[in-house]
Amino acid sequence: MKKGPEDRVSEDMRAEYDFSHGERGKYASRNAEGSNVVVLDPDVAAAFPNTEAVNDALRKAAGLD
């Protein structure tokens, strides 16, 4: 049997949180378009001042330049 919202109450959820007017999947299509998040180590990130520099370096490393 599928559980309803009242069956999913978490002990960690505060009583003042009210999601009764929430919209499920509101941003799902935006996320489905694509997102590639890569977390760089701090020493590597320090070598690149901006996104363009990272993309340029990756294109060169991949032979796409």
Domain positions in the chain are 39-65
| pLDDT value at residue 33 | 76
| pLDDT value at residue 13 | 77
Closest C-alpha to 19, from 5, 29, 37: 5
The structure's pTM equals 0.47
Closest C-alpha to 55, from 65, 42, 41: 65
pLDDT at 62 over 70: yes
pLDDT in tens, 6-55: 555 567 778 888 888 899 999 888 877 777 888 999 999 999 999 999 99
| pLDDT value at residue 18 | 86
